[in-house]
Chains A and B, each alone.
Chain A
Amino acid sequence: MTAALPVARRRGVRAAEKGTDRAARPGVLWVLPATLFFMLFAGLPLVLVAVLSFTSWNGLGTPAFNGFDNWTRMASDPSVLQSLRISAVLTVLSWAVQTPLALLLGVWAAGRQRNRAVLSSLFFLPLLMSTAAIAITWLTLLDPNFGLAAKFGPSIGFPDGNIIGSSRGALGCIIVVVSWQFVPFHTLLYQAAARQIPKSLYDAATVDGAGRVRQFRHVTLPQLRNTIVTSSVLMLVGSLTYFETVLILTGGGPGGATNILPQHMYMTAFRDYQMGYASVIALALVALGTTLSMLIVRFSGFAKMRSTLEGI
């Protein structure tokens, strides 16, 4: 892996085009196990969830087809629309909270000073814990009478510590907990990316008399553009998985205030046992995930970057 690598590779491509490449090429057989496995346990379920969306099934016995019943029901079901809205709010807010934090922390932690290295090794501790462990720990902290909520609630507008039990507070709690859990990961991405920025760019900026803030705006940010996109995609698509946190912390409450789409689907499927209807909600979830990723890809030129790596 040398600096000459890209050149070498380009030359290789040309050689291949001229047909001078005689190295053995693996056939389709090589991708078969992974593809079959993926299709069986991820692809097939995706097809099946579409099939199940046209059935009525209570988890026992065999699903029975019921046409578009589930679909027409969803169209007029206010609780699904509400869940969709809450999911959107949670997704946008948690993105807006996590991105600046991770970006600044990552750039800061990219510095090679000793104190930064020590601190950032502590920053990454939440990465090591499971969602279940994190949610359970926070649940005890949020007790309004005996936990931290009692101590800090008054200073953030909850004089009685009633944070997780109020609609706005509960959503805030979810955002705080997922930020605690996921900011470290995104910090890691930014840290690694910031370390790749050539020093010469900063030297040039310094010569131009740019201060720290201007350097950040005109050198660091543009250089991190790709990482911002990557991190945002992971964050937005990842926000659909906050389900575990919601299930353990609030169960969707109070009064459905944190009932995000995956939680709604889970409850419909495994508490209410309306598997067919839950499948429609699941499809909405797939649509949401795909749309989000595609939008980001479209607006960021992400696809182009990817395609440059494809097909050597």
Chain B
Amino acid sequence: MAVVRQSGPGRLRRTAGRRLGRANWAAGVASLVWLAFVITPIYLMVKDALQTTDSYLDGGPLSLPHHLTGHNFADVFDRGFTHYLINTAIVTVASAVLTVLLAFPAAYAIVRSRSRAVSGVFRLFLAGLAIPAQATIIPVYLMITRMHLYDSLTAIVLPTVAFGLPLSVLVLSSALRDVPRELYEAMTIDGSGSVRLMWSLALPLSRASLTTVSVYSALNAWNGFLFPLILTQSDEQRVQTLGLYNFQGQFSSNIPGLMAAVLLSALPIFVVYLFARRWLVAGMAGVGGK
């Protein structure tokens, strides 16, 4: 199953890429068509966000932008979007940190322990992969209200982390299996216990997978919609996805304003993509490969 291994570019010397000298024109054209399909909505989003309400309808949907303005962004900030972004950032960081803190020791034990119970836990997480979060939303809502956590950021973090755990544990344990047994043996001679082994051996050697898991859980939390929709209500606790959903009616005809909000919601991730594309992409591919 581990089709996609974390690997530095160095390991990819002899690959399929350069197998054919002559260019593949048909594929090139097809990929340009796909590019047009992918880019058009993004172009329109950016273009509309930069136009005044009056001018965005002029010249049809695909025209070049004119009468550029930054007013829409100011408008979005006026409506409290900064606050939603801060909330989302809190949820994102909390979810990613909690996921790693919980998943890593579990994955380490799954790989290293000989206990029957532990391998049962592994099977539990395997089965957990198939639970659709939507299906449990009613009891989750019930539990959160009974725990008096309703309408708090904590309410979003808890189930988000829980449903992220199975995949994280699988990815991490799969990486830990690559740590050669001899290394554990060698360190044992030094007299290291399990905690030392995990901290100074397993952890440094699975850095790539830890990145994968953090990136993936952070993205999930940043873009989460269902849990915030059901588990929060007030403006104070609103995250960016719900902010967008609410802006829809509020901006009504003001599509430029709405598009500015959409653009702003993705901007932080765009910036990360720009500067740290490699590990963001590796993060996502790594999860899919498990």
Q: Which residues of A are at the interface with B, using a C-beta cutoff of 8 A?
A: 1, 5, 8-9, 12-13, 15-16, 21-28, 30-31, 33-35, 37-38, 40-46, 48-49, 52, 101, 104-105, 107-113, 115-116, 119, 121-134, 136-141, 146-148, 150-151, 180, 184-186, 188-189, 191-200, 202-203, 206, 212, 215, 220, 226-227, 230-231, 234, 237, 240-241, 243-244, 248, 262, 265-266, 269-270, 275, 278-279, 282-283, 285-286, 289-290, 293, 302, 305-306, 309-312
* Residues B2 and A309 in contact, CB atoms below 8 Å apart: yes
* Residues B35 and A122 in contact, CB atoms below 8 Å apart: yes
B180 interfacial by beta-carbon distance below 8 Å: yes
* Residues A286 and B135 in contact, CB atoms below 8 Å apart: yes
B169 interfacial by beta-carbon distance below 8 Å: yes
Most chain B CB neighbours (cut-off 10 Å) among A30, A289, A305: A30
* Residues B136 and A46 in contact, CB atoms below 8 Å apart: yes
B226 interfacial by beta-carbon distance below 8 Å: yes
* Residues A128 and B266 in contact, CB atoms below 8 Å apart: yes
Q: Which residues of B are at the interface with A, using a C-beta cutoff of 8 A?
A: 1-5, 12, 14-20, 23-24, 27-28, 30-32, 34-35, 37-42, 44-45, 48, 57, 60-62, 102-103, 105-106, 108-115, 117-119, 121-122, 124-126, 128-140, 142-143, 158-159, 161-163, 165-166, 169, 174, 177-178, 180-182, 184-185, 187-188, 192-194, 197-198, 222-223, 225-226, 230, 240-242, 244-245, 248, 255, 258-259, 262, 265-266, 269-270, 273, 277, 281, 284-285, 288-289
Nearest-CB residue, chain A, relative to B198: A26
Question: Which of B114, B174, B192, B225 contacts A131 (CB under 8 A)?
Answer: B225
Query: For residue B277, which residues in chain A have a CB less than 8 angstroms away from its CB?
Result: 121
* Residues B162 and A38 in contact, CB atoms below 8 Å apart: yes
Query: For residue A197, which residues in chain B have a CB less than 8 angstroms away from its CB?
Result: 15-16
* Residues B108 and A26 in contact, CB atoms below 8 Å apart: yes
* Residues A26 and B194 in contact, CB atoms below 8 Å apart: yes
Please report the number of residue pairs spanning A and B whose Cβ atoms sit closer than 8 angstroms. Answer: 357
Question: Which of A26, A109, A269, A286 contacts B131 (CB under 8 A)?
Answer: A286
Q: Report the Cα distance A116→B18, complex, angstroms.
A: 12
Q: Return B201 CB to nearest CB of chain A, in Å.
A: 10
* Residues A230 and B289 in contact, CB atoms below 8 Å apart: yes
Most chain A CB neighbours (cut-off 10 Å) among B41, B115, B159, B188: B41
* Residues B108 and A140 in contact, CB atoms below 8 Å apart: no
Nearest-CB residue, chain B, relative to A201: B16
Query: For residue B133, which residues in chain A have a CB less than 8 angstroms away from its CB?
Result: 241
A8-B180, A31-B105, A37-B165 known; A125 and B121 CB under 8 Å? no
